Amino acid sequence: MILTVTPNTGLDRTVFLDRLRLGERNLARAAADGMGGKGCCVSLTLARLGEPTVAIGLAGGEIGRRVEAMLRAAGAVTDFVWTAGESRQNLVLIEASRRHTTICVEGLEADADHAAALCERIRHHARHAAAIVVAGSAPATWPLALYEEVVRTARQATASLVLDAAGDALDRALRYRPDAVKPNRDELAAAVGRPVRTPGEAIAAAAELCRRGAGSVLASLGVRGAVLVSGEGAWRAPAIRVPVGSPAGAGDAMTAALALG
C-alpha cells in the first residue's frame, strides 16, 4: 500500500478558452473540475492503476467532501482530518496556444491540533505502507514548523519517503533525508538559487539536492523530458511525443510512478 499525505487538499476548476483577454468578458469553450492537492492526485493515479492506496490529509467543507468522494469512487481509501473553512478550489485557465494561467487560493483554516491529528494518522497507516508520499503545499495558517513535523513523522516510519515540495518546505524537508524528491524545473531552480535551462543544468542542480539530503531526485523538465540523479549516477529521459490536452497532473503521475518504484 502507498500512503499519501496532502496537507492542503483541493480541487482545480480548469477552463478552456481561445485566448485570455484581461479586463474583458471571456467566453469559455469548456470547463471541468479535477483533483487539485498533489498527494490526492497521486492516490487518484494509483487507484486508477489498481494499486492499493490510502489518502490522508486536511480537508474542509463541501469541496473537501467532493475530494473525498472522487478518491473513493476511484477505489482509494481516505482518512482525512476535517478542519474549519473550505478546501481550496484553484482556477486553471488554458488557452488554445497552450499557455496556462493558474490562480491559487489559500483554502483551509488549520492549526497545531490539526497537525497533531494528521501526524497520528500517519503513524497509524504507515505500519502498512511500502511508501509514504508527502506532497503539496501546507495551509497558509501553518508555520513552517508544523509542515516540518509532518515530514519528521513520515520519516520515522520504516516505509520509504517520497517528497514533492517547493521553497522553504523543500529546504526544511531535506534535513530528514527523504528517499526520493520530485521537483519540476522551476522548483529545482528555486531550490538551488540559479536558472535551470538545460538537462545538464538540471542534473547539476539535482546532484546538489542529493548532497543536501535527498536519496534521489527525479526532476520533470516539460518538453525536455526528465532527469534522475542518485548516488549511483545520473540519467536523462527525453519527453515522449503524445497529444497534450493539459499538463495538469502529469507531475503527480510521475510521483505516483516514483512511489511504486
Does 260 have pLDDT greater than 70? yes
Place of cell 513523522: 153
Residue 250 has a pLDDT of 84
Residues in CB range of 237: below 8 A, 6 or more apart: 225, 226, 227, 228
Q: What is the largest CA-CA distance in the chain?
A: 54
Domain hosting residue 83, numbered range: 2-260
Bridge-based pairing state of the strands 226-230 and 216-220 = antiparallel
Percent of the chain at pLDDT exceeding 70: 99
How many separate domains does the chain show? Answer: 1
Bridge-based pairing state of the strands 131-135 and 88-95 = unpaired
Which amino acid is residue 139, in one-letter code?
Answer: P
How far is C-alpha 190 from the chain's CA centre?
Answer: 16
Cα separation, 144 vs 156, whole angstroms: 19
Cα separation, 253 vs 223, whole angstroms: 16
Of the listed ranges 98-102, 183-187, 199-203, 215-219, the one predicted with least confidence:
98-102
pTM as predicted: 0.93
What average pLDDT score do residues 170-186 get?
97
Structure confidence at residue 242 as a pLDDT band (50, 70, 90): confident
Does 114 have pLDDT greater than 90? yes
Cα separation, 95 vs 230, whole angstroms: 37
Structure confidence at residue 240 as a pLDDT band (50, 70, 90): confident
Structure-block grid coordinates of residue 251: 507531475
CA separation, residue 89 to residues 12, 112, 123, 135 (Å): 6, 23, 29, 17
Which amino acid is residue 43, in one-letter code?
Answer: S
* 35 strand-pairing partners: 11
Task: Choose the catalytic residue: 12, 164, 179, 252.
Answer: 252
The phi and psi torsions of 4 (rounded to 5 degrees) equal -115, 145
CATH number of the domain where residue 149 is located: 3.40.1190.20
| 170, 205 contact by CB (below 8 A) | no
Structure confidence at residue 177 as a pLDDT band (50, 70, 90): very high
pLDDT digits (tens, 9 = 90+) for 191-221: 999 999 999 999 999 999 999 999 999 999 9
Residue 245 has a pLDDT of 67
252 annotated active-site: yes
What average pLDDT score do residues 249-259 get?
92
pLDDT digits (tens, 9 = 90+) for 142-172: 999 999 999 999 999 999 999 999 999 999 9
Cα separation, 32 vs 121, whole angstroms: 31
pLDDT digits (tens, 9 = 90+) for 33-80: 999 999 999 999 999 999 999 999 999 999 999 999 999 999 999 999
Structure confidence at residue 246 as a pLDDT band (50, 70, 90): low
How far is C-alpha 102 from the chain's CA centre?
Answer: 15
Cα separation, 62 vs 87, whole angstroms: 8
